[in-house]
Amino acid sequence: MLSRSSAGRAGFLAAGLGLLIAMPACGQFGGLNAEFAGGGARALAMGGAFIALADDATATEFNPAGLWQLRRPELAAQILYTYDERPTGLLQAGDSGLEVVFEDDRDDYIIPSFLSFVYPMQHFTLGISEFTNVFYDRGYPHPITGEPLEERAANYALGLTLATAPFERFSIGGTVRYNFFRFECDGGDDRERFNDEAWTANFGLLWRLHRYIQVGAVYKLPQPLKGQYQGFDVDTELPATLGFGLALLPNDRWRILADVDRISWSDFDPNPEDDFYREDVLRYHLGVEWHAGVWKQTAFFLRAGYLYEESNAYRYRGDNPYFRQLASEDDSIQHLSFGIGMARPRYQLDIGVDLTEDRGQDIIASIVWYF
């Protein structure tokens, strides 16, 4: 899992649009970053490739069908550290009039971002979870006055998961989620808030095709966002996700994983009356896990991964030259990841690190207890 997608513009739309179209200085959800895969240091270390493996308590988000593989109760928790650095476009007065200046925008935070409990039963496996898939707290200056602007956003999901196996080697599962979305922008006397709550669901399947081959699929419904913000009606949604995965299990020591998912960012349009938009994106994940050996009842694991994701930055289809510069297309983003793990009879500890070219890094530390 990637704790958070690095795609998406920072909140530069805030100041630039406020100046040119007479809107408040606060932004239009321009800096929204989100992770629509799942949680866990183990998956992060493998480039987010986990759909076709999904064999621990983090599967409540990655692929609910994977919970059927668990044979004893598990409690999983994680802490996420994110450092993000990206260029932020600002409109400033120059010798020849207004011009776009890009400055580095840095953001870092530590949060507890995932918690789940899974309980296997005779015919079903039950799971409950909390997952934070959107979180940021970013500051940037107003392009004219220079006063600080602050944007904060979070989306918390409470989930109830049920998994079963209607056929041998074939399991299905679903997670019903209740989501709490919070957005706030504070720019001096200009303070804007947007809050909404909504139901969504995730559905998954897992199929053991062969002793050495496993495939999985997951679909996550979009999350509606409705209400009032900056004087206009918001009727949009956080994206839906459709993903497929392949796991090769040649022996007890190796796991080789590949996932591809599509995120429908085109559905996220807080203000459909303007000329800004996002495009749907594909992400490609590759990962490997190696069981390095056992020493004094402790098993050790090494992991590595790669993620290629298309940019979901805001595009602009209008004629304004300043907007064209502000919403210029980001390049696609490449991630390298690695991690280690150690498993004891009653618990497992994992650390995963995701490094993004010219953007920063994510670090997740997670623990799973077995009962």
Residues 6 or more apart in contact with residue 68 via CB below 8 angstroms? 125, 163, 164, 165, 171, 173, 206
Please give the torsion angle defined by the CA atoms of residues 72, 73, 75 and 76, in that order, rounded to the nearest 10 degrees: 40
Architecture of domain 13-370: Beta Barrel (2.40)
3-state class (DSSP) for residue 62: helix
pLDDT at position 162: 97
In the predicted model, is pLDDT for residue 30 greater than 90? no
342 vs 274: which has the higher pLDDT: 342
pLDDT higher for 191 or 288?
Answer: 288
Mean pLDDT, the chain, rounded, equals 82
Q: Can you give the pLDDT at residue 283? A: 94
Task: Give the Cα separation of 84 and 329 in Å (integer).
Answer: 18
Sign of the alpha-carbon torsion through 65, 66, 70, 76: negative
pLDDT score of 116: 94
pLDDT band at 370 (very low <50, low <70, confident <90, very high): very high
Neighbours of 226 (CB within 10 A): 12
pLDDT band of 166, cuts 50, 70, 90? very high
Write the pLDDT tens digit of every residue in 34-86.
565 567 899 999 999 999 999 988 888 889 999 999 999 999 999 988 887 76
Residue 24, pLDDT > 50, answer no
Determine the pLDDT at residue 135. Answer: 80
Whether 218 contacts 49, CB under 8 Å: no
- pLDDT at residue 111, as a whole number: 87
pLDDT at 27 over 60: no
CA–CA separation, 241 and 218 (whole Å): 8
What's the pLDDT at 171? 98
Place 198 in a pLDDT band, splitting at 50, 70 and 90.
very high
Q: Which residues of 147-168 are buried (b: 16+ CB within 10 A; e: fewer)?
A: eebebebbbbbebebbbebeee
**pLDDT tens-digit readout, 83-110:** 877 666 565 656 666 666 666 667 778 8
Q: pLDDT tens, 299-310?
A: 999 999 999 988
Mean pLDDT of all residues in 111-131: 94
For 277-301, write each residue's pLDDT tens digit: 788 899 999 999 999 999 999 999 9
CA dihedral 66, 71, 73, 77 (to 10 degrees): -40
Query: pLDDT exceeding 70 applies to what percent of the chain?
Result: 76
Average pLDDT for 141-166: 82
* Cα 7 from chain centre: 10
Mean pLDDT throughout 112-117? 92
Q: Say how many CA atoms lie within 13 Å of 111 toward its Cβ.
A: 21
Of 20 and 182, more confident: 182
Distance of CA 35 to the CA centre of its chain: 1
pLDDT value at residue 6: 31
Calculate the alpha carbon distances from 329 to 239, 286, 324 in Å.
19, 25, 9
- Mean pLDDT for 13-40 is 47
Closest CA to 39 of 69, 6, 63, 73: 63
Which pLDDT belongs to residue 191? 72
Q: Is the pLDDT of residue 11 over 50?
A: no
CA–CA dist 236, 96 (Å, integer)? 38
pLDDT score at 189: 61
pLDDT in tens, 312-339: 777 777 777 766 666 655 678 899 999 9
Helices (H), ranges, 112-255: none
Return the higher-pLDDT residue of 205 and 280. Answer: 205
Do 42 and 343 contact (CB within 8 A), yes or no?
no
Quick one: average pLDDT of 150-174? 93
Q: In angstroms, rounded to a whole number, what is the distance separating the alpha carbons of residues 176 and 129?
A: 10
